[in-house]
């Protein structure tokens, strides 16, 4: 057994392993991050690590909202962890020091709220996944029927949700005469800044109207587009980290070389120079965000469902299938790209890069990982694109094949009749939609299409979509995933 990674053992890292050059004991916290999972640690924390040498006041306090596992793994390592970057050429390792403290929100709430309401904290950033916003995709506002929001409203001083924690911390700051922080959403939601602003403001207004008005006028909620593929860490990754660094790391993170972070330049007061770590500041994030959600994430979800049903474990295997690869290229060129406002040359160069990234065989990104939470992902990844095309009377057969693959997956049985363990907050609704259909494919499609949290009204009521879904669903079941993709390739 090797020595465990920590501040004390850091000097024993294998020579050649890259690590920060700043004097870590001098770094002070300036950011509280909610949702300190692998994605944050492979993305924003790395960008932050790059700027701490020139500005040491932006260290990160990271909190997990649901499970203590990240805190348990990293606290004994003084917050240090290994970043493994993989491509065809091999793996490189880097030790990241930007995370100064880890908290488990349910059990360390007073400490977390104290950190959030401390004047030194000028940013509260979030990667809490789509469902963490407790918003209603149809209205774009707070889901006031959400069980945890109901609890947060009944007991706002002991919040459980991300919006609830932010509102309580802002209340404490206002009461103490401290300026608010910037709320920086880093989740894959369209207009993520606006969604964050709406859920926080609407909750604050219900807790205390004066607080709500103060939030409206004083808090900034910049939008961001964040991009880096981060597969879940495996035992093999831990071993590789140990081999390269010669130190034991309970939770290294693995990623690709690519990183993009586009941020709307609208902060309360000063902001970190994230550009030192490669971030771009722009006045309008929306065109980048729509391109990323529809091109990258839209294709990712189609690859995940078709690939899973086609028996593939990893994205790189799915994209190595020539039928699926051509199908995806055509879905981009014919159905998705025409809905975007970016210049066509920019979009086609983007698609080319995506193909290379998806093909990275070293990444081992599981189709199962992307398939989870489809009900939260489909609206911004596929449904918006479908809606835009239907409005113009344009065909949507490739997108329909993607949705038909999702319906098959969500119905809980694969093409060979084997059970699928569906990981989704709407699983009960899926089970009911499937049971009510009683094995009739038309009824199944109708029942899924009626899910108003997933499909907008125009899309729900579209006859051409319903027909396209049925054709593609039947093709999928008679020809298999690759066969159905081949017909549209």
Residue 229 sits in the site that holds ligand CS2 (CB under 6 A):
yes
3-class state of residue 286 by DSSP: helix
Q: Which of 82, 185, 188, 233 binds ligand CS2 (CB under 6 A)?
A: 188
DSSP class of residue 24 equals G
* Burial of 107: CB neighbours in 10 Å, binned 0-12, 13-18, 19+: exposed
Q: How far is the CB of 377 from ligand CS2 (least distance, A)?
A: 6
Long-range interactions of 336-344: CB distance < 8 A, separation 24+: 336/294, 336/295, 336/298, 336/299, 336/385, 336/399, 337/295, 338/389, 338/394, 339/294, 339/385, 339/388, 339/389, 340/287, 340/290, 340/291, 340/294, 340/295, 341/287, 341/290, 342/287, 342/288, 342/291
Contact 183, 221 (CB under 8 A): yes
Residue 182 sits in the site that holds ligand CS2 (CB under 6 A):
no
| Token pair for 400 | 């329909």
Q: Which is nearer to ligand CS2, 61 or 223 (CB)?
A: 223
| Token pair for 112 | 């977390």
| Token pair for 153 | 């409203």
Residue 316 sits in the site that holds ligand CS2 (CB under 6 A):
no
Q: Which is nearer to ligand CS2, 24 or 377 (CB)?
A: 377
Q: How far is the CB of 369 from ligand CS2 (least distance, A)?
A: 6
Q: How far is the CB of 259 from ligand CS2 (least distance, A)?
A: 9
Q: Which of 146, 300, 312, 325 binds ligand CS2 (CB under 6 A)?
A: 300
Q: Which of 9, 117, 297, 376 binds ligand CS2 (CB under 6 A)?
A: 297
Q: How far is the CB of 227 from ligand CS2 (least distance, A)?
A: 4
- Which span (56-64, 148-156, 223-231, 391-399) binds ligand CS2, by CB under 6 A? 223-231
Q: Which is nearer to ligand CS2, 77 or 188 (CB)?
A: 188
Name the residue number minimizing CB distance to ligand CS2. Answer: 300
Give the number of C-alpha atoms closer than 13 A to the C-alpha of residue 328, restricted to the C-beta side: 31
DSSP class of residue 366 equals B
For the window 343-382, what string marks contact with ligand CS2 as x by the rule CB under 6 A? --------------------------xx------x-----
Query: 169 Cβ partners below 8 Å, 6+ apart?
Result: 113, 116, 117, 124, 181
Residue 227 sits in the site that holds ligand CS2 (CB under 6 A):
yes
Q: How far is the CB of 373 from ligand CS2 (least distance, A)?
A: 7
Q: From residue 423, give the alpha-carbon distance in Å to each of 37, 370, 376, 454.
A: 18, 10, 11, 16
Q: Which of residues 397-456 bind ligand CS2 (CB under 6 A)?
A: none
Q: How far is the CB of 187 from ligand CS2 (least distance, A)?
A: 9
Judged by the rule CB under 6 A, the positions of this chain that interact with ligand CS2 are 188, 227-229, 296-297, 300, 369-370, 377
């Amino acid at each position: 057994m090797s020595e465990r990674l920590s501040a004390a053992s850091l000097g024993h890292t294998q020579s050649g392993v890259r690590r920060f050059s700043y004097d870590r004991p001098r770094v002070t916290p300036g950011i509280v991050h909610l949702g300190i999972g692998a994605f944050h640690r492979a993305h924003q924390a790395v960008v932050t690590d790059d700027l701490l040498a020139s500005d040491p006041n932006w260290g990160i306090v990271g909190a997990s909202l649901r499970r203590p596992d990240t805190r348990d793994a990293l606290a004994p390592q003084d917050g240090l962890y290994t970043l493994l970057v993989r491509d065809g050429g091999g793996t490189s390792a880097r030790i990241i020091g930007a995370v100064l403290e880890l908290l488990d929100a349910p059990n360390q709430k007073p400490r977390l709220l104290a950190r959030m309401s401390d004047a030194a904290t000028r940013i509260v950033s979030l990667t809490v996944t789509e469902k963490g916003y407790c918003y209603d995709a149809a209205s774009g506002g707070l889901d006031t029927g959400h069980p945890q929001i109901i609890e947060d409203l009944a007991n706002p001083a002991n919040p459980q949700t991300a919006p609830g924690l932010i509102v309580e911390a802002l209340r404490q700051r206002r009461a103490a005469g401290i300026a608010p922080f910037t709320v920086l959403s880093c989740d894959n939601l369209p207009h993520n800044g606006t969604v964050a602003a709406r859920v926080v403001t609407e909750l604050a207004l219900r807790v205390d109207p004066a607080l709500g008005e103060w939030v409206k006028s004083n808090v900034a909620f910049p939008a961001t587009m964040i991009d880096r593929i981060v597969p879940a860490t495996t035992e093999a990754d831990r071993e590789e980290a140990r081999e390269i660094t010669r130190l034991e790391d309970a939770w290294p993170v693995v990623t690709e070389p690519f990183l993009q972070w586009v941020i709307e330049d609208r902060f309360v007061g000063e902001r970190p120079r994230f550009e030192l770590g490669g971030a771009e500041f722009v006045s309008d994030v929306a065109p980048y965000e729509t391109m990323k959600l529809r091109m990258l994430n839209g294709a990712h979800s189609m690859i995940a469902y078709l690939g899973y049903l086609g028996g593939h474990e990893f994205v790189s295997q799915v994209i190595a299938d020539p039928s699926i690869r051509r199908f995806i290229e055509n879905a981009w060129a014919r159905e998705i790209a025409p809905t975007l406002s970016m210049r066509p040359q920019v979009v086609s160069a983007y698609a080319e890069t995506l193909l290379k990234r998806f093909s990275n065989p070293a990444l081992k990104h599981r189709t199962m990982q992307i398939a989870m939470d489809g009900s939260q992902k489909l609206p911004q990844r596929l449904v918006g694109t479908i809606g835009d095309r239907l409005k113009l009377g344009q065909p949507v057969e490739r997108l329909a094949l993607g949705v038909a693959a999702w319906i098959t997956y969500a119905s809980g049985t694969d093409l060979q009749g084997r059970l699928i363990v569906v990981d989704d907050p709407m699983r009960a609704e899926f089970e009911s939609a499937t049971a009510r259909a009683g094995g009739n494919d038309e009824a199944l499609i109708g029942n899924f299409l009626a899910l108003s949290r997933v499909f907008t009204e125009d899309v729900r009521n579209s006859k051409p979509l319903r027909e396209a879904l049925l054709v593609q669903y039947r093709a999928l079941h008679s020809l298999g995933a690759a066969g159905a993709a081949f017909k549209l390739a």
